[in-house]
Amino acid sequence: RYMEFSGQVSRFREPKIEKPKRKAFSDLIMYDGERCILCSRCVRFCDEITKDKELGIFERGAHSVVDTFGDGKLTSGYQLCLADICPVGALTSRDFRFKCRAWYLTATPSVCTKCARGCSILVDSKDGAVQRYRPRKNPDVNAFWMCDEGRLTYKEIAENRVTEPLVRDASGKLVPVSWDEAVALVVKKFKAAQGSVGLVASAFETNEANFALKKLAEAMGASLGTTPADVAMGKGDDLLKLADKTPNRTGLSMLGLSGDVSAAKALFVMGSDLAPEAAAKLDFLVVATPFLTPLAEKANVVLPTAHAAEQFGSYTNFQKIVQKTERGVAAPGGALPAYQAISKIGEGLGAKIPVCPAALFKAITAEAEAFSDLTWAMLDPCGGPCKE
């Protein structure tokens, strides 16, 4: 039917005004001048929000186009916001362009874990895989925006994943085992090392996972430490990005998690990639992580845990706003949320630790004064503030 009614030679007699159909403004943004309605939203965004003034409207009348200045390319760290605000699809993300139809995506509210800002986001998924991140409106945290660096971290979810528990065998190789076998070995070694066990909480993990680890430490009488403050410091900016690249360092502090594990001979490290040299000083090392990191490669036991986009939980950003994540996709293989892995170990050691994030959060509000005014339901849709 298309060829019969639409695929015909045009009867328009005058010369057509042709504009750039596929012009790359950068590695991230493509411009289609024939879709553009010259609303100037993109120009205003560059002038008023990022204040880098990298776009303008050039030429006159029907020949007007949006363009960069000279032969320059966009350099802003918020370029993909241009695709969000363009009303006609004239500016599109080169990463997502033609990947799939947007109406086939399932959007799940979550939190960006790239820095301590904790931008509210939507995890767009299809066929069990994350296709992109988008900013979700939250006036108190990120307004309508999100940095490009945070958006593109969705690609890391599928990279170098640990999908089943690994145990180092007699030959020194990490081999896959069942959860029951891995947990039984951890319990056995921790019991044997009673009094010299250390647990390392993580500023990259949820409040629920860190609280579960705290309860495990209390049940075992183990020392509890945290990720060194300088492990994940980077560069920030004046809009959203922060130098602190950990999403939950404030949550660690407000849960009262701190201590010294330097004397430990058996160590459980959650979510953090400490220097692999630390493994040489230990008799037994357990790493609970989504990814096969250099430290995990040195471990005696590796427990596969879920990424933030694959679990329910909460994070506390630098403003002391607690936000909820929801499971956008299933974790690969046998990976579990860290709090469920800790609960399994706790069960073997006689400690009853909830496996439900809502139950864990309720326990947090009962014990941690800063969280006492909050409930799990109150975290929808934009989170809630802790007590000062």
The three-point CA angle 149-81-41 to 5° equals 155
- Mean pLDDT computed over every residue of the chain: 94
| Cα–Cα dist 90/85, whole Å | 10
- Give the pLDDT confidence score for residue 279 in this predicted structure: 82
Has residue 281 got a pLDDT over 90?
Answer: no
Q: Tell me, what's the pLDDT at 388? A: 75
Q: Convert the pLDDT of each residue in 342-384 to its tens digit.
A: 999 999 999 999 999 999 999 999 999 999 999 999 999 999 9
Q: CA-to-CA distance for 131 and 152, rounded, in angstroms?
A: 10
pLDDT band, residue 277 (cuts 50/70/90): confident
* Residues forming a β-bridge with 166: 176, 302
Question: Which residues on adjacent β-strands are paired with residue 106?
Answer: 125
How far is residue 325's CA from residue 207's CA, in Å, rounded to a whole number? 11
Tokens of 243: 């130098």
- pLDDT computed for residue 232 by the predictor: 67
Report the distance separating Cα 47 and Cα 170, nearest Å. Answer: 62
Q: Which residues pair with 225 in a beta bridge?
A: 200
Render pLDDT for 123-171 as a digit per residue (tens, 0 to 9). Answer: 999 999 999 999 999 999 999 999 999 999 999 999 999 999 999 999 9
Could you read off the pLDDT of 165-212 as tens digits, one per residue? 999 999 999 999 999 999 999 999 999 999 999 999 999 999 999 999
Structural contact between residues 162 and 293, judged by C-beta atoms closer than 8 angstroms: no
Q: Which domains does the chain have, with CATH numbers?
A: 13-98 (3.30.70.20), 166-385 (3.40.50.740)
Ramachandran bin of 172, using left for φ above 0, alpha for ψ from -120 to 50, beta for the remaining angles:
left
Structure tokens at 161: 């994943």
The letter for the amino acid at 148 is D
When pLDDT is averaged across residues 88-108 and rounded to a whole number, the result is 97
Range name among 144-148, 209-213, 265-269, 270-274 with the lowest pLDDT average = 270-274
Instruction: Supply the angle between the helices 357-367 and 207-220 in degrees, to the nearest 10.
Output: 70
Distance CA 263, CA 68 (A): 58
CB–CB of 340/355 below 8 Å? yes
The distance of Cα 106 from the centroid of its chain, to the nearest Å, equals 17
Per-residue pLDDT at 101 exceeds 80: yes
Checking if the pLDDT of 231 tops 70, the result is no
**Residue 229 binned pLDDT confidence (cut-offs 50, 70, 90):** low
Q: Residues 222-248: what's their mean pLDDT?
A: 86
Could you tell me what percent of the chain has a pLDDT over 70? 98
DSSP-assigned states of every residue in 315-338: EE-TTSEEEEE--SSPPSTT-B-H
Model confidence band, residue 1 (pLDDT cutoffs 50, 70, 90)? low
Cα–Cα distance measured from residue 341 to residue 197, given in angstroms and rounded to the nearest whole number = 17
Burial degree of 359 (CB within 10 A; 0-12, 13-18, 19+): middle
Reported confidence tier of residue 272, pLDDT bands at 50, 70, 90: confident
Cα–Cα separations (whole angstroms), residue 334 to 14, 38, 111, 191, 365: 64, 50, 23, 25, 30
Whole-angstrom Cα distance, residue 187 to residue 347? 9
